[in-house]
Structure 1
Amino acid sequence: MSDKLKIMVLSGVREQGKNMFAVQVNDEIFVLDAGLKYPDSSLFGIDVVIPDMEFFKQYGDQVAGIFLTHGHADSIGALPYILRDWDIPVFGSKLTIELAKIDVELAKIDVQRENKRRNNQLFNVIDADTEIDFKNASVSFFHTTHSVPDSLGIVIHAPQGQIVYTGDFKFDPSARPAYRTDMTRLAEIAKNGVLALLPDSSNAEAVLPNASENEVGNYITNVFRNAKGRIIVAGKASNLNRVQQVFNAAAATSRRVLLTGRDVAKIVHTAMKMGYLEVPDGLLMKAKELKDVPDEKTVILETGRMGEPLQSLQKMANNRHRTITIHEGDLVFIATTPSHAVETTVAITSDMVYRAGGTVIELGRNMHTSGHATGRDLQTLIDLLKPRILVPVIGDYRLLEAVKDLAVETGMDPDDVYITQNGDCLEYDTKRGQFFRGDAVPGEDTMIDGSGVGDVGNIVLRDREVLSDDGIFIAVVTIDRKKKKIVSEPQVTSRGFVYIKANQKLMNDSIQVIKDAIQANFEHKKFDWTELKQDMRSSLGKFLYKQTNRRPVVLPVVMEVNQNRHRAMQKKAEDAAEGNKEKPVKKPVKKNNRKKQTRPANKSAKGKKPVNKNKKDSKADDKR
């Protein structure tokens, strides 16, 4: 067997989220993370975006396993869609596996009951001391610091050398043991030499060091002490470190906490059951208790749908939330550091909260805190591991370039830093001892819209974009094809295009355009439905653009009278074209003219009158 080593960048570079990478050693493929990302405003109607499922269609039978670094959606969110169709083992820490199971359940993907049992059997719990031997390589793990406990980095031990994938990480010596990066283990990995390092790049531009989690916890407690009314905390359900700090601050200020949303309740109770969250007795309350607890003793932890709290805050501010309405004196504490993609949404949400009478404090504006490595952290890691090549992952393009600059500052050759894009594949030349760019692998986005997986593509998105920009124009007309005439006056309407009452002339003129297009089509020798609709669409589109400088989606609806008669005539013409064929003469069948005897209705089967056993009833009938 030839020594084959490939590093596949499937998803998660030049973007934020949906992390998924793979390492191929001979005929085995090791997938690192399987995440999703939430769509931006350009993806109309899309719920989430996951990596290209075409990869598993092509290479699924070679995948030895999916190895998870931590339990956030950007690392586990695509699992439900993968496990629905492929039997692939999944490896992760105890908490990560439990969060992954919750994610599969919350995704509400329609799988058969035996598949659910099968999926539970595919999950494998590992820890930082685990090393798994496969046919061509082995896989080991090491503790990392992130905002969720039990986060792990992954090492692929291939014959050519070690490939290290950090996942989301940072360095914080003051972190609790369950959150602390194992520097000793990293030093051991470095002793054996690191062939390739795939580090987290999402915070590479940060110059200032991250505040320690102890400092963040103290800050949150002070915010709670100074608040006079209710506190509504907006955070991510899976950020268990922040959830613990909120619980600690609430307990320190004699407040009770209400969890809103199934996501946070399920995740929190799972973490409590497993011992990852410490919750004093009586701290949590139910929704029905909220009215009995004073505002100054209340904390509401809102995570929103799929862990995104901003939409829920907007509903609270607009009095559209199912249970909570923001009122005078409320403090909204945004406990996450928003990405650049949602900064505008945060600003809009804050404005809505102030209009409703509340105030807003953003943790990210007052403290430099993140669950991701700063530039200094990355340089420390690179200097410690001294990799042969560096492949920055998990971040936008500018962040990948920032990691390259940091690596060059530590002494790495710029040619040994590979800036990739989704779908890139780096192959290792064993003879020359270096990597080169190989053939591309599947690296497109898979759109999830409702229950549909990948059935929405660029054409559908373009139509949705046009609808959102210029609306739709609908034209309905009934014709008689045989007489070549319009049976009734065309009807036109629009949505999102123009205000109809104020544009009656435009609507009337468009009716004449429809008539002209249909009449021109009637003059053709052969009638063609497709051509008729295309002519209507083209003529209306040009007319409407000329009048309004807008391009709505034009939807022609053409109905026909005497449709059955036209079909019969068409069939008759087709038969005539085939020629007269001699048909076999059927012999006349003699009919049996004998009358069929029927049984008298008032007699029994033997021809006798039925006997009435009830004499009284019989006499009564005679009297009648």
Structure 2
Amino acid sequence: MDSKIKIIPLGGVRENGKNMYAVEINDGIYILDCGLKYPENELLGIDVVIPDFSYLKENRDRIVGVFLTHGHADAIGALPYFLGEFNVPVFGSKMTIELAKISVSESSEAASFDDFHVVSDRSEIDFEDVRITFFRTTHSIPGSLGIAVHTDAGAIVYTGDFKFDQTATHLYRTDYSQLTKLGDQGVLALLSDSSNAENPAPSASENQISDYIKGVFNDHQGRIIVASVASNIIRMQQVFDAAAQSGRKVFLSGKDLDKIVKTALKLSMLKLPSPDLLINNASDLEKLDANQTVIIQTGKMGEPIKALQRMANKEEKDINIEPGDLVFITTTPSTAMETTVAKTRDMIYRADAEVKMISDEMNSAGDASQNDLQLLLNILKPKFFIPVQGEYRLLSSHARLAKQLGYTDAQIVIPSKGDVISISEDEIWVSGGLDIADTMIDGSGIGDIGNIVLRDRKVLSEDGIFVAVITIDRKKKRVISSPKLTSRGFVYVKANKDLMNEASEIIKKTVQDNLENKEFDWSNLKQDVRDGLSDYLYHQTKRHPVILPVIMEVNQHHKRTNKKHSKGNGKSDKVESAENSEV
């Protein structure tokens, strides 16, 4: 083997989403996918999480390009942030590139980027020592492609999200001949989707799902609110078809969904069964009977669950859940979202509406089941295997499936983020590791939220905040007035007067002790106040609120007024005061 080959997962392993894999061949770095993930509950206030680009910044001159498998957020969502840092070409199918352009255009840092290249399953891209090819896969969005990085030792194959469906239409159909040819040419290592690796049941075909959706539409006589991921194009087509068959009109809720649907229609990846199927304005819904209406809700960034919660609580501007509605959840939530989904269902029932989830009735996942995963391994016959895309239990389950086919521990690596996986002619091993951290996006801030901020948010959410404001005269070494205490999310002040009075005395004593200390220091003063209050409040309440001491300093400066102007006015010297505060 002449080529030096390393594979570094920068995301997408031991987690849901955020797929990004750096394949190093000699001096070049080939990036496979550039995705984000939506935060779980403990990441309070965080909008999305993207991969850590630190290693790529250190090796920016070696990056050859970004190669995308499909147009979902877990594969393209981090592109706006990545392209704000790096100017490298991006390759993907026509649908994937159009969705990537929409995402990037909304970023001020990357909006001017225009180095996109459309590829197909017939494309070959030749670099100096590497050749890149693509193969068609079946997923819930058209234009999904697997990627093969060909080296002199064999191909590194990355599947992206995929499943096998013998009834898939031409836009979604897997090219089995391509896979067979790739396997015959020799696959050195396979990076394969593990998102559904625990599921022994075969995935329902899209024909079965389509028939089920039509049955739901025909059975319900009221308004139907469909909750779906915005970029799940095949589900959109099935909803359009079912709405047309049942004599209903469709309203698209949200700008993200409207852009994606219009893009898919323009590319003929989505078809309207009737030209007047879509309703453009929410006000037009009032002109239709309930049994003529379908509303597709995807929410911010295409995720529908939080939007459903707002609709159930009557917090949405235009459309909310009403008695008699059917909320039809057509997305398959991850395990991490199960509690949130259960709460959402309860909220919908409280709004006197009905709920159906497609995942309750059938295995509607867009990712490969256990049989599919083993079939792919048998077709490609890779020398080495790296399960990716999923939490650890899913990667481990996928590894067990490979072992059932005869693979050994020496041929399998279950990776962690930042592992440097080296491959030689007859061995695969973890040769090192990078210090990889999640980059959290909060509003317009990129990576400025770390563990300390998250810890404070967690404490605030659980124990609240306690603010103590006190004014001192440092020259006279005395406290000017009693502390003013404020509590939010900790205790109700009026009902806890004894607690507040004792806290006030502790603050005054602590401050007075510091004022009488010859080596007075603001930092020590604030820390002593925090420590004294923290011990007392925990002893009384068994809680640790965030304690914020605000120290105000008053300085008295005497200025004698001009005698000419003050003569005979009977007034004493004018007093001016200045206040300084330390937080």
Measured against the shorter chain, the TM-score band is over 0.9
**CA shift at 1:429, angstroms?**
3.2
Structure 2 equivalent of residue 420 of structure 1 = 415
Structure 1 equivalent of residue 343 of structure 2 = 348
Q: Structure 2: how far apart are the matches of 1:116 and 1:227? A: 44
SS of the residue 1:361 aligns to: strand
Q: Structure 1: how far apart are the matches of 2:467 and 2:322? A: 44
Question: Using a 3 Å threshold, how does the CA distance of structure 1 residues 440 and 253 change in structure 2: closer, same or farther?
Answer: same
Select the residue among 234, 259, 279 that pairs with 1:241: 234
Aligned-partner residue type, residue 4 of structure 1? K
Counterpart contact for 2:91–2:116, Cα < 8 Å: yes
Structure 1 equivalent of residue 297 of structure 2 = 302
What does the per-residue CA deviation read over 1:9-29, in whole Å, with 9 as the maximum and x for residues that have no partner? 111111110000111011100
Aligned-partner residue type, residue 347 of structure 2? M
Question: Using a 3 Å threshold, how does the CA distance of structure 1 residues 417 and 518 change in structure 2: closer, same or farther?
Answer: same
What does the per-residue CA deviation read over 1:164-222, in whole Å, with 9 as the maximum and x for residues that have no partner? 00000000011011111111000110111110000000101111111100110011001
SS of the residue 1:74 aligns to: helix
Structure 1 equivalent of residue 257 of structure 2 = 264
**CA shift at 1:524, angstroms?**
1.4
Q: Structure 1: how far apart are the matches of 2:434 and 2:107? A: 27
**CA shift at 1:271, angstroms?**
0.5
Q: Structure 1: how far apart are the matches of 2:72 and 2:117? A: 17
Structure 1 equivalent of residue 60 of structure 2 = 60
Select the residue among 275, 280, 299 that pairs with 1:281: 275
Q: Structure 1: how far apart are the matches of 2:55 and 2:137? A: 28
**CA shift at 1:564, angstroms?**
7.7
Aligned-partner residue type, residue 283 of structure 1? L
Is residue 169 of structure 1 aligned with residue 162 of structure 2? yes
Is residue 110 of structure 1 aligned with residue 108 of structure 2? yes
Structure 2 equivalent of residue 453 of structure 1 = 446
Structure 1 equivalent of residue 312 of structure 2 = 317
User: Which TM-score applies when normalising by structure 2?
Assistant: 0.94
Structure 2 equivalent of residue 209 of structure 1 = 202
Q: Structure 2: how far apart are the matches of 1:498 and 1:434? A: 61
**CA shift at 1:110, angstroms?**
2.8
**CA shift at 1:3, angstroms?**
3.1
Q: Structure 1: how far apart are the matches of 2:351 and 2:3? A: 64
SS of the residue 2:387 aligns to: coil
Counterpart contact for 2:251–2:296, Cα < 8 Å: yes
Aligned-partner residue type, residue 222 of structure 2? G
Counterpart contact for 2:193–2:388, Cα < 8 Å: yes
Structure 2 equivalent of residue 395 of structure 1 = 390
Counterpart contact for 1:95–1:150, Cα < 8 Å: yes
**CA shift at 1:116, angstroms?**
2.9
Select the residue among 134, 152, 156 that pairs with 1:159: 152
Counterpart contact for 2:3–2:151, Cα < 8 Å: no
What does the per-residue CA deviation read over 1:312-348, in whole Å, with 9 as the maximum and x for residues that have no partner? 1122211111111222221111111111111111111
Counterpart contact for 1:2–1:26, Cα < 8 Å: no
Counterpart contact for 1:518–1:536, Cα < 8 Å: yes
Question: Using a 3 Å threshold, how does the CA distance of structure 1 residues 294 and 509 change in structure 2: closer, same or farther?
Answer: same
Q: Structure 1: how far apart are the matches of 2:434 and 2:25? A: 15
SS of the residue 2:7 aligns to: strand
Structure 2 equivalent of residue 614 of structure 1 = none
**CA shift at 1:547, angstroms?**
1.2
Q: Structure 2: how far apart are the matches of 1:463 and 1:564? A: 40
Aligned-partner residue type, residue 253 of structure 2? T
Aligned-partner residue type, residue 365 of structure 2? S
Q: Structure 2: how far apart are the matches of 1:288 and 1:330? A: 18
What does the per-residue CA deviation read over 1:413-432, in whole Å, with 9 as the maximum and x for residues that have no partner? 232111111111111235xx
**CA shift at 1:2, angstroms?**
7.0
Question: Using a 3 Å threshold, how does the CA distance of structure 1 residues 159 and 564 change in structure 2: closer, same or farther?
Answer: farther
**CA shift at 1:561, angstroms?**
1.1
Counterpart contact for 2:410–2:428, Cα < 8 Å: no
What does the per-residue CA deviation read over 1:47-87, in whole Å, with 9 as the maximum and x for residues that have no partner? 00000121221122211001000000000000000111210
Q: Structure 2: how far apart are the matches of 1:323 and 1:3? A: 59
Q: Structure 2: how far apart are the matches of 1:60 and 1:157? A: 22
Question: Using a 3 Å threshold, how does the CA distance of structure 1 residues 414 and 501 change in structure 2: closer, same or farther?
Answer: same
Question: Using a 3 Å threshold, how does the CA distance of structure 1 residues 382 and 481 change in structure 2: closer, same or farther?
Answer: same
SS of the residue 1:333 aligns to: strand
Q: Structure 2: how far apart are the matches of 1:347 and 1:458? A: 28
Alignment of 1:427-446 (within 5 A): 427-430=422-425, 433-446=426-439
Counterpart contact for 2:411–2:427, Cα < 8 Å: no
Counterpart contact for 2:11–2:20, Cα < 8 Å: yes
SS of the residue 1:438 aligns to: strand
**CA shift at 1:294, angstroms?**
0.8
Q: Structure 1: how far apart are the matches of 2:243 and 2:5? A: 51
Aligned-partner residue type, residue 313 of structure 1? L
**Identical aligned residues as a percent:** 53
User: Which TM-score applies when normalising by structure 1?
Assistant: 0.87
Structure 2 equivalent of residue 592 of structure 1 = none
Return 450-459 or 347-356, whichever deviates more.
Answer: 347-356
Aligned-partner residue type, residue 310 of structure 1? I
Is residue 127 of structure 1 aligned with residue 120 of structure 2? yes
SS of the residue 1:392 aligns to: strand
What does the per-residue CA deviation read over 1:209-263, in whole Å, with 9 as the maximum and x for residues that have no partner? 1110011001100110111111110001100000000000001111100000001
Q: Structure 2: how far apart are the matches of 1:356 and 1:549? A: 37
Counterpart contact for 1:68–1:76, Cα < 8 Å: yes
Structure 1 equivalent of residue 471 of structure 2 = 478
Aligned-partner residue type, residue 541 of structure 2? T
Return 287-296 or 145-154, whichever deviates more.
Answer: 287-296
Q: Structure 2: how far apart are the matches of 1:562 and 1:46? A: 43
Return 48-57 or 137-146, whichever deviates more.
Answer: 48-57
Runs of 4 or more consecutive aligned structure 1 residues displaced over 3 Å after TM superposition: none
Select the residue among 512, 518, 528 that pairs with 1:525: 518
Q: Structure 1: how far apart are the matches of 2:469 and 2:73? A: 46
Whichever of the two has the greater Rg, that structure is: 1
Select the residue among 329, 336, 339 that pairs with 2:334: 339
Select the residue among 321, 342, 357 that pairs with 1:362: 357
**Larger % of strand: which?**
2
Counterpart contact for 2:413–2:429, Cα < 8 Å: no
Counterpart contact for 2:137–2:163, Cα < 8 Å: yes
Q: Structure 1: how far apart are the matches of 2:515 and 2:339? A: 54
Structure 2 equivalent of residue 409 of structure 1 = 404
Select the residue among 532, 554, 558 that pairs with 1:539: 532
SS of the residue 2:193 aligns to: coil
- Extract unaligned runs of 5+ from structure 2: 559-583
Alignment of 1:26-37 (within 5 A): 26-37=26-37
Aligned-partner residue type, residue 51 of structure 2? P
Q: Structure 2: how far apart are the matches of 1:241 and 1:58? A: 40
Aligned-partner residue type, residue 312 of structure 1? A
Return 444-453 or 55-64, whichever deviates more.
Answer: 55-64
Structure 2 equivalent of residue 382 of structure 1 = 377
**CA shift at 1:563, angstroms?**
7.7
Q: Structure 1: how far apart are the matches of 2:267 and 2:2? A: 45
**CA shift at 1:452, angstroms?**
0.7
SS of the residue 1:64 aligns to: strand
- Extract unaligned runs of 5+ from structure 1: 566-624
Aligned-partner residue type, residue 210 of structure 2? G
